[in-house]
Structure 1
Amino acid sequence: MFISSKEVEMILDQELSVRLCEWISSYSPVSCKEVFGSENEIRFNIDEAIEFAKIKMHRDSFKREFFPHLVRLKHCKVCDTFNTAHSA
């Protein structure tokens, strides 16, 4: 299940969303795609990101920091919070 950096920004503050997306695209093996027509927006696989963050989380401060946010984002994606918020 892919989630866009714009969706991440809807739930998290801008600074945290930028840090999270940068970490995922630069320092993780998570599948990322650039959004067509937008040079600064990416989409990443939220399921892969959660699985990656679980691995040796106690040794990695970024994984510890980002894991609860990834779970929250996955919950929002599953509950379709983004479409509801966008249409309101």
Structure 2
Amino acid sequence: PNTGMWFERFVIIVTSIHRDFLPSSWGYFSPTWVDITLFIGTIGLFVFLFLLFVRFLPIINMFEVKGITPQADPHDPIHHAEEKQPVLASSREVHA
């Protein structure tokens, strides 16, 4: 959703590492194995946490779930048997 911010941060960080502000020390930045490993590990951690999140809290549209619940079915005899029926007599009058 906010990829513009991430690209901006990337440009700020990479250009500040790539170009030093002293003209005498200008050179190219080449990542070491530590930099590459941290980058790949960060992506792997994000993918792992995302899959863990999807496993325990699946991404399901609310409108699709509502249609398959038994309470939403108007012809379900179990959940709609408790609907309010008009009371003709109380239980005391029947047993008295």
The verdict on a shared fold, with TM-score over 0.5 as the criterion, is no
After TM superposition, the score normalised by the length of structure 1 is: 0.23
After TM superposition, the score normalised by the length of structure 2 is: 0.22
Asked which structure has the greater CA Rg, the reply is: 2
Larger strand proportion of the pair: 1
Q: Tell me which of the two structures has the higher relative contact order, counting C-alpha pairs closer than 8 angstroms and 6 or more residues apart.
A: 1
Larger helix proportion of the pair: 1
